[in-house]
Amino acid sequence: MPDSMPALPATPDEATRQTRIRLTINDTPHDLSIAPRRTLLEVLREDLSLTGAKPGCEMGNCGACTVLLDGEAVYSCLVLAIECPGHTITTIEGLTRDGQLHPIQDTFVQYDALQCGFCTPGQVLALKSLLDRNPHPTDDEIDRGMAGNICRCGAYPKIRAAARALARQQP
Amino acid sequence: MPIRIITTHLEFEGQVSEQRVVIEGDEPPVWGPDAALSIVGTPQPRVDGRERVSGVAEYTYDVRLPGMLIAVGLRSPHPHARVTRIDATRAEVAPGVRAVYTRFNAGDFLHPDNERPFFGEELPYAGDLVALVVAESRAQASDACALIAVDYEPLPFVIDPEAALQPDAPHVILTRENNGLSDEYPKTYERGDITRGLAEADVTVEVRFETPAALHNSLETHGATAQWDGRTLTIWTSTQDVYGSRRQVASALGLMHNQVRAIKQYMGGGFGSKFGTHSSGMLAAYAAYKLGRPVQYMLSREEENLCTGHRSPTIQTYHLGAKRDGTITAIDLHAIANVGATGGWFPPVSMVAKEMYQCPNVRTVDEGARTNLGPFAAFRAPGVVEGTAGFEVALDRLAAALNMDPLEFRRKNYAPEHQAMERPYARKLLLEAYDLAAERIGWATRDAEERRYPLGRDGHLRRGVGMASQMWGGDGGPPAQAIAKLLPDGTAVILTGTQDIGTGTRTVLAQIAAEELGLPLEHVRVELGDTEFGVFSPGSGGSMTLSSVGPAVRMAAVEARKELLEVISQLAEAPTDAIELRQGAVFSRETGKEMGTIASFLDQLDGHEITAKGMRGPNAEGMTVRTFGVQFAEVEVDVGTGEVRVLRVVACHDCGRIVNPLTFSSQIEGGIIQGLGFALMEQRIVDDRLGIPVNANLENYKVPTIRDVPEIEIIPLDRPNIHANTLGTLGAGEPPIIPTPGAIANAVAHALGRPVDALPLTPDRVLKLLNQEATV
Ligand code: FES
Ligand code: FES
């Protein structure tokens, strides 16, 4: 018995349905015209070439796409770009200032808290949001705070060590 | 330098093959235990760590080219079907669409390795490719996919491997006579007399053990970006093997090798699944070649989990026998591996049963079953992780039946030489590893009441300690080449064609070159992952990268140093053996005084660059080089919920000389954590009525998070194996994952006092075990 896939109606052409928005990313305003259905992750990567946030699952499971929205770690694959005007967005590219790594980034390198590095921008930002909220997290708070970011290479012991070292150093 | 062609033996993923390779010049003598090394052997952060933490490292997914089109695949929703009609007319005229490929316009595009069409008429698994839409944006391509009407004729299917092997089973692929892997299977290995061995035994056990399909779930999916400029097809591909990618793309498109350039600078994991270029990469190349515009095809997570491979599920049936005193007399194993519809080889499930412990009477039968599921692919020690888990669990059962301590039992059956090949091991430090690791985990007190019942006998927590041994190859081999260039300012560039798949290859190669060239690490740059500028290296897998490419780099650096010393000697009018190089400076051996920097000498020449070549030499003959090791795990089981928590893992592996203790420990930890996932949570779940995997995502396919990670204690042996290669190194990529699931399974059995018969040990499975009669 033939099994026919129904042809679904087309969504209207992206080009004819665009919304103008201003996003403030890493302290820089960007004026954009985008289709309302697009995620922040897509807009960062495709329109702004900010490819530090990675697509790992695009359904909120892995954390590779983590960015900071008003300082809070969010999965940018679950945020629509049109929700973001008026908010402060920080991506991994915004952490390095004048060629200087942020102390979290530097600690990640020193502790080898990365292997392939694909999850790393997300891990760094997740930890930043945790430490900004809670400068001296306990070991358990670190594990809970970082549990939303998968590292398939298993760099976890060293991410933990880096996080603990930073928690000790924080003023 | 004169060349010679030699024949050498190489063991890769458990299969020994004969290689004919060209050798040029002579390798330097091996770095023995007394070699005075100052950079090799020291912990060094990754030389490319900065790029990776700052988001500037360009992964395949990040490649963006002007005018780049995006491809999206439409995949079969049926476990087995024939495509009878495709109507793509609406998709073809949808906004932004530049091409729609199906079997009706691209049916003659064949995979170069197996001649199968990329767009087949018969689709033997859910997730096989039906159509590819190429559009200006991903949204447009996905929208257009929904406009394609496909008529499928559903065909009978089978997903259970034992059912698939029955004579009346539905044909997984219609044109094949049966569902066996190939004519070679089932494949039997025999040594001694199994019947006699079982008859001689005082105690026998029969164990059936099942392992699940684990999905690699590399965080970066498979895929590629390709560009054809009329002269060169350049492919940026997430691969463990740029040279294999070049060969495949050239032969798929009918191009010459010098028209294809494969590039892989950074990749988000591969774990064995990214050898050569996946079909997604060849499709990107095909579309770019046809359309004359760059095309990117990166798989979605769901596609990744349906069509790029998995660790094949196994059913292992053991029949073991031993004498009262613990001497094993018989090992009989029947191993079925489900290789999916189009898997091409059998994972060496039976390797450990043949070789790990002393036994005169062994029979193993390997049987590969095809089913209507995606093809299996190598996954970090394929076959051996599964085989070790099953065999080590069966051994614990035999030890229990003999009333013997499991560790004592393994010591008693220690195999001093390679029984299957009847030749010695180059070295085996396993007994020492047992002692060190057993001491660290506190094996002697594993049965202590207060340790097993942390909340007392009536509490809901039980603890257990288990162990498993590990063996693997990983001594590398030829062919592998490298070039060392010394630039006028005294810095060096090392050219190779290898890949850094996240293991830290770039860093260890830089350490090796810096050591030999007398340069600080920052003055050495290692280039890899590009067929255009590199020189041949094999794919990165089998735990062989360092041991294959490292010696070539070392030889190139040694040759470059020779020429550098010659140059300095002529300029300084001093014999070469009176000069020493250290940290970028030249010293007089006699006075110990600095004579200037290396740069100050090279600067005196007009535009000279020193260029030298190195090659990996042949492997040692007449012996087997292996990594051996052991892991012990301590677990806590909540008998109320069935939840298992791993508390500690102690690992002791002989990986030869350790070039970088920092990245070495990362490899070991990563392997253990993947092994923990396999033991406790990872499994592809297939709806057996529909024949469709239902958790092809990261929502319901569970991988470990930071909260699952136990304390991991690594006991490094760090001793060069002088038979392995001129560095004395052995691989460390696969050894650490091999014993983890077996050690955890045995620890859970110890905690529960009940045998374990399958992985993963999810709470529901543990609760079921608790409802069975206690037998251990
Ligand atoms: S890509 Fe957003 S959570 Fe995975
Ligand atoms: S470093 Fe590879 S996924 Fe985390």
**How does pLDDT run across B622-642, given as a tens digit for each residue?**
999 999 999 999 999 999 999
Residue with tokens 């909120």: A60
Residue pair B226/B338 in contact by the 8 Å Cβ criterion: no
Residue pair B234/B227 in contact by the 8 Å Cβ criterion: yes
- CA-CA distance, B360 to B95, in Å (whole number)? 70
pLDDT of residue A1: 38
Task: State if residue A103 touches ligand 1 by the CB under 6 angstroms criterion.
Answer: no
Ligand lying closest to the C-alpha of residue A77: 1
C-alpha separations of B475 from A165, B270, B720, B732, B750 in Å: 36, 21, 11, 10, 35
Counts of helices then strands in chain A (DSSP H, E): 5, 6
**Best mutation site among B70, B672, B706 for testing chain A: the one with the most A CBs within 10 Å?**
B706
Spell out the residues 6+ positions from residue B365 whose beta carbon is closer than 8 angstroms to its own. Answer: B186, B187, B188, B189, B333, B334, B335, B350
Partners of A7 on chain B (C-beta within 8 Å) are 87, 90, 146-149
Residue pair B526/B511 in contact by the 8 Å Cβ criterion: no
Nearest CA to ligand 1 atom 3: A60
Partners of B54 on chain A (C-beta within 8 Å) are 52, 92-93, 95-96, 101, 105
How many CB atoms sit inside 10 A of residue B38's CB? 12
Q: How far, in Å, from the CA of B717 to the mean position of ligand 2?
A: 26
- CA-CA distance, B721 to B648, in Å (whole number)? 29
pLDDT tier, A26 (very low <50, low <70, confident <90, very high otherwise): very high
**Residue A65: pLDDT over 50:** yes
**Residue B774: pLDDT over 60:** no
Residue pair B282/B71 in contact by the 8 Å Cβ criterion: no
pLDDT tier, B554 (very low <50, low <70, confident <90, very high otherwise): very high
Task: State if residue A17 touches ligand 2 by the CB under 6 angstroms criterion.
Answer: no
Task: State if residue A118 touches ligand 1 by the CB under 6 angstroms criterion.
Answer: no
pLDDT of residue B16: 77
CA dihedral B737, B743, B748, B754 (to 10 degrees): 130
Which pLDDT tens digit goes with each residue over B397-429? 999 999 999 999 999 999 999 999 999 999 999
The mean per-residue pLDDT over the stretch B466-493 comes to: 95
Please give the share of chain B, as a percent, with pLDDT higher than 70: 99
Which of 173-202 (B) contact A at CB < 8 A? none
How many angstroms away from the CA of B66 is the closest CA of chain A? 12
pLDDT of residue B196: 98
- Domain segments of chain B as ranges: 3-56+476-615, 63-155+222-298, 314-475+622-771
- Is B138 at the interface with chain A, CB within 8 A? yes
**Best mutation site among A1, A4, A5, A41 for testing chain B: the one with the most B CBs within 10 Å?**
A5
At residue B492, the 3 state secondary structure works out as: strand
CA angle B132, B135, B136 (to 5 degrees): 155
Burial label for A88, CB within 10 Å (0-12, 13-18, 19+), is middle
pLDDT of residue B725: 96
Does the domain at B314-475+622-771 match CATH 3.30.365.10? Answer given as yes
At residue B322, the 3 state secondary structure works out as: strand
Q: Residue A6: closest CA among chain B residues belongs to which residue?
A: B149
**Residue A14: pLDDT over 80:** no
Which pLDDT tens digit goes with each residue over B103-139? 999 999 999 988 899 999 999 999 999 999 999 999 9
**Best mutation site among A1, A34, A116, A142 for testing chain B: the one with the most B CBs within 10 Å?**
A116
Whether residue B666 and residue A115 make contact (CB cut-off 8 A), yes or no, is yes
CATH code for the domain defined by A103-169: 1.10.150.120
Spell out the residues 6+ positions from residue B405 whose beta carbon is closer than 8 angstroms to its own. Answer: B399
- CA-CA distance, B629 to B102, in Å (whole number)? 50
Q: Residue A53: closest CA among chain B residues belongs to which residue?
A: B55
pLDDT of residue B772: 77
Task: State if residue A61 touches ligand 1 by the CB under 6 angstroms criterion.
Answer: yes
- CA-CA distance, B275 to B104, in Å (whole number)? 29
Q: Is the dihedral of CA B644, B273, B265, B655 positive or negative?
A: positive
- What letter would DSSP give residue A43? I
- CA-CA distance, B52 to B37, in Å (whole number)? 28
User: Are B63-155+222-298 and B314-475+622-771 the same fold in CATH?
Assistant: no
- Domain segments of chain A as ranges: 19-94, 103-169
Q: ipTM of this complex > 0.90?
A: yes
- CA-CA distance, A113 to A108, in Å (whole number)? 5
Whether residue B138 and residue A42 make contact (CB cut-off 8 A), yes or no, is yes
Q: Which residues pair with B459 in a beta bridge?
A: none
- CA-CA distance, B65 to A149, in Å (whole number)? 29
Spell out the residues 6+ positions from residue A127 whose beta carbon is closer than 8 angstroms to its own. Answer: A104, A145, A146, A159, A162, A163, A166
Which pLDDT tens digit goes with each residue over B683-713? 999 999 999 999 999 999 999 999 999 999 9
Residue pair B242/B278 in contact by the 8 Å Cβ criterion: no
Which of 16-55 (B) contact A at CB < 8 A? 45-46, 49-55
Nearest CA to ligand 2 atom 4: A151
pLDDT of residue A2: 43
Whether residue B53 and residue A117 make contact (CB cut-off 8 A), yes or no, is yes
Q: Which CATH class is domain A19-94?
A: alpha beta
Ligand lying closest to the C-alpha of residue B703: 2
Structural element, H or E, at residue B408: helix B406-412
Testing ligand 1's pocket by substitution, the residue of A39, A42, A58, A119 carrying the most ligand atoms inside 8 A of its CB is: A58
CA dihedral B371, B374, B377, B380 (to 10 degrees): -100
A3-4, strands of its sheet edge to edge: A3-4, B149-154, B81-87, B122-123
Whether residue A156 and residue B706 make contact (CB cut-off 8 A), yes or no, is yes
Q: How far, in Å, from the CA of A128 to the mean position of ligand 2?
A: 18
Of A2, A4, A52, the CB nearest to B55: A52
How many CB atoms sit inside 10 A of residue B33's CB? 10
Distance of CA B507 to the CA centre of its chain: 19
Residue pair B750/B673 in contact by the 8 Å Cβ criterion: no
Ligand 2 atom nearest to B219, measured from its CA = 3
pLDDT of residue A12: 56
pLDDT of residue B776: 46
Task: State if residue A75 touches ligand 1 by the CB under 6 angstroms criterion.
Answer: yes
The b/e string for B251-285 (b: 16+ C-beta within 10 A; e otherwise) is bbbebeeebbbbbbbbbbbbbbbbbbbbbbbbbbb
- Mean pLDDT of all residues in chain B? 96
CATH code for the domain defined by B63-155+222-298: 3.90.1170.50
The b/e string for B338-354 (b: 16+ C-beta within 10 A; e otherwise) is bbbbbbebbbbbbbbbb
Partners of A112 on chain B (C-beta within 8 Å) are 45-46, 49, 662-663, 665-666
3-state helix, strand, coil in chain A (%, to 5): 40, 20, 45
Q: Which residues pair with B729 in a beta bridge?
A: B656
The mean per-residue pLDDT over the stretch B471-486 comes to: 94
- Mean pLDDT of all residues in chain A? 93
Structural element, H or E, at residue B662: helix B661-680
Ligand 1 atom nearest to B698, measured from its CA = 4
For residue A108, what are its two tokens? 């990640």
pLDDT of residue B578: 95
Could you tell me if residue A63 is left (phi over 0), alpha (psi between -120 and 50 degrees) or otherwise beta?
left
pLDDT of residue B18: 85
Residue pair B124/B371 in contact by the 8 Å Cβ criterion: no
Burial label for B770, CB within 10 Å (0-12, 13-18, 19+), is middle
CA angle B380, B383, B384 (to 5 degrees): 75
**Residue A5: pLDDT over 80:** no
- Is B156 at the interface with chain A, CB within 8 A? no
Q: How many CB pairs under 8 A join A and B?
A: 226
CATH code for the domain defined by B3-56+476-615: 3.30.365.10
- CA-based nearest residue to B234, from B159, B293, B165, B275: B293
Which pLDDT tens digit goes with each residue over A79-116? 999 999 999 999 999 999 999 999 999 999 999 999 99
Kindly calculate the radius of gyration of chain A based on its CA atoms and give it in whole angstroms: 18
Testing ligand 2's pocket by substitution, the residue of A115, A125, A149, A158 carrying the most ligand atoms inside 8 A of its CB is: A115
The mean per-residue pLDDT over the stretch B515-525 comes to: 97
Could you tell me if residue B426 is left (phi over 0), alpha (psi between -120 and 50 degrees) or otherwise beta?
alpha
Testing ligand 2's pocket by substitution, the residue of B60, B219, B666 carrying the most ligand atoms inside 8 A of its CB is: B219
Task: State if residue A60 touches ligand 1 by the CB under 6 angstroms criterion.
Answer: yes
Task: State if residue A63 touches ligand 1 by the CB under 6 angstroms criterion.
Answer: yes
- CA-CA distance, B586 to B601, in Å (whole number)? 9
**Best mutation site among A100, A118, A139 for testing chain B: the one with the most B CBs within 10 Å?**
A118
Task: State if residue A162 touches ligand 1 by the CB under 6 angstroms criterion.
Answer: no
